[in-house]
Structure 1
Amino acid sequence: MDTCRRSVLAAGAAGAVGLVTGCGGDDGGPSAPAASDGASASGGASSPAGEELTGTADVPVGGGTVFKEQKVVVTQPEAGRFKAFSAICTHQQCLVTEVADGLIVCPCHGSRFRVTDGSVERGPATRPLPPEQITVSGDAVLLT
């Protein structure tokens, strides 16, 4: 029995609702946000447009751009091929700040991630940056 379930049982009926609400997790528990119809779209022509992040010309080939407000980094590993990853380092959740020499750089403890797939090039991070969904529409890169 995990800690959240024990807490709910120990709290009794009066406080159970508040505790259950705060006990979500990776298993899709109660605090996991519900996906909207747009979030699960495949990116085809009929899907709704997302938030425009930048123009394709503003993402350097072999490099990338960090969008701090959206906490996303968009890369262009090779001409015309765009990728997006979470800009939150998997080590201690610092925001990555730059893309240089084909690597996404975290300033906090020096972790480096590859622009091609978000994988760890140098730690202390041990997990890759999670992918984010983007769509390229004409000359625009959209967060979907």
Structure 2
Amino acid sequence: MALLLNQRGSDVQITQEVVAAAAGNYGSGKEVMELLLDQRGSDFQITQEVVILIIRNFNKEVIALLNQRGSDVQITQKVVVAAAGNSRSGKEVVGLLLDQRGSDVQITEKVVVAAARNEDSGKEVIALLLNQRGSDVQITQEVVVAAA
């Protein structure tokens, strides 16, 4: 992607399909997303689906680049659920969302269930939610079942 942008920049169209492919690329997607957001971020729209893919799959560095788009990036319940389920960097991504977009981040039962089902970093995500937003975290039967 870097070669294409460097050699033929104006000929390379960054479509939703390109952004979605980069967001879903587990091998080098982080680097491609950083490149796209850094060099061509203003050339494409960040849709809800792309935000969810990015939040679910990448670490806080990519999320920080995404946050540079400000109000273009809506933090919906689906986005927060994706962050809580991020197996690689869930704690860091949820922490970044809480720090930078705190009032936009709603802690619903679905968010806590996603964290409880997150086998890799769910414990840390739940601890973070309890520490920072304890009164918002409802421990329901579905949460307990997901944790079990």
More helix, by proportion: 2
TM-score by length of structure 1 reads 0.23
TM-score by length of structure 2 reads 0.22
More strand, by proportion: 1
